Amino acid sequence: MDRDLLSHLPVVVAVARRGGFALAAAELGMSPSAVSHAVRLVEERIGQPLFARTTRSVSLTEAGTALVETAAPALQDIAERMDRIRGIKGRPAGQLRINASNIAIPLAVTAVVAAMAERYPDVTVEVVADQGLVDIVGEGFDAGIRLGEMIAQDMVTVRLTQPFSAVMVATPAYVGRHGRPRDVVDLADHNCIGYRLVRSGALYRWDLAEDGKDVSVETRGTAIVTDSLAAIDLALVGVGIAYVFEPLVRDHIAAGRLVQILPQSAIEEPGLFLYFPRRASMAPKLRAFIDTAQEIGRASSRTPGRAA
């Protein structure tokens, strides 16, 4: 066994996963030159280039693809087994990487991470906010958090929240100036805060209910955001109508800062789920996150007026 080769394989996998030497260096806590040296050493040992480099991009060669497809699962398996070994005599340990949508962080992540900091000080939870869907296995994540309808069927899922509604809200001042829409068609005459999908670049069409049927509504307005929390901020200062998940604005509605628009047109979403590949389900650090999240979820569901 070539020990030098083995010790540098995680660097090669990181460069492939992050798509560049600088990003891999930042993730690994190494200098870019050290990353380049490690990759060059592996290439010399194998006798073939692993990456095709240009001034703008880094991509895997055929040999590099074959190596990463072999090494990445093996390295992940070793890391998970080491975490299990650490957990035999003590607490769960290691880094838990989670990819979550922006709205999932306040609704299903923040409280769990705070609780885990107290209960499992040897676990570091890294949360990467991402508006699009990613290959959590290929990108090196232990788990992801998304709406239930967005998750592939071959993943193990764990419910983190109860179902909730997607609602439209505006300030009382906005309603006082412009009036309330009487139906979905009336939205065309209102300033609606748009939402641009980061991955596709398209403007999101609002999913609403009208006369018992689901409809997809194109809106227009003077502001477009890529984050629901930004839409709420704009709605709070009276810019227009925002389309957001109800738990995010529940306190604002209760305090009278926002009012719901066309409540009869709100649709229900399935809620947020943690998801992960089946082989990862026994990792102690992930098990700890699941147990903590479920405990918090049960406590929240028993507290009146709180989001589950």
Of 56, 96, 18, the C-alpha closest to 39 is 18
Interval 4-56: pLDDT, tens: 678 888 899 889 888 889 888 988 889 989 999 899 989 888 888 999 887 77
Of 304, 290, 303, the C-alpha closest to 115 is 290
CA distance 252 to 231: 13
Range name among 163-172, 223-232, 258-267, 276-285 with the lowest pLDDT average: 276-285
* Residue 307 confidence class, pLDDT cut points 50, 70, 90: very low
pLDDT at 201: 84
* Residue 149 confidence class, pLDDT cut points 50, 70, 90: confident
Range name among 79-83, 202-206, 209-213, 226-230 with the lowest pLDDT average: 79-83
Which residues make Cβ contacts (< 8 Å) with residue 137, sequence separation at least 6?
277
Proportion of the chain above pLDDT 90, given as a percent:
55
Q: Is 11 exposed, middle or buried (0-12, 13-18, 19+ CB in 10 A)?
A: buried
Of 158, 162, 161, the C-alpha closest to 287 is 158
Is the pTM for the entire model greater than 0.75? Answer: no
C-alpha angle 130-135-140 in degrees, rounded to nearest 5: 85
CA distance 42 to 214: 55
Of 34, 32, 36, 40, the C-alpha closest to 5 is 40
Evaluate if residue 303 carries a pLDDT over 60.
no
- What is the pLDDT averaged over residues 135-154? 86
For 165, the token pair is 């509604």
- What is the pLDDT averaged over residues 141-145? 93
Range name among 143-157, 161-175, 235-249 with the lowest pLDDT average: 143-157
- What is the pLDDT averaged over residues 141-169? 91
Mean predicted lDDT score pLDDT of the chain = 88
Whether the Cβ atoms of residue 25 and residue 31 lie closer than 8 Å to each other: yes
Evaluate if residue 181 carries a pLDDT over 70.
yes
17-26: list long-range contacts, CB under 8 Å, 24+ apart: 17/72, 17/138, 17/139, 17/140, 19/57, 19/58, 19/59, 20/57, 20/58, 21/58
Q: Between the ranges 54-68, 122-136, 253-267, where is the mean pLDDT highest?
A: 253-267
Proportion of the chain above pLDDT 70, given as a percent:
92
pLDDT at 4: 66
Evaluate if residue 229 carries a pLDDT over 80.
yes
> For residues 99 and 282, which has the higher predicted lDDT (pLDDT)?
99
CA distance 242 to 234: 8
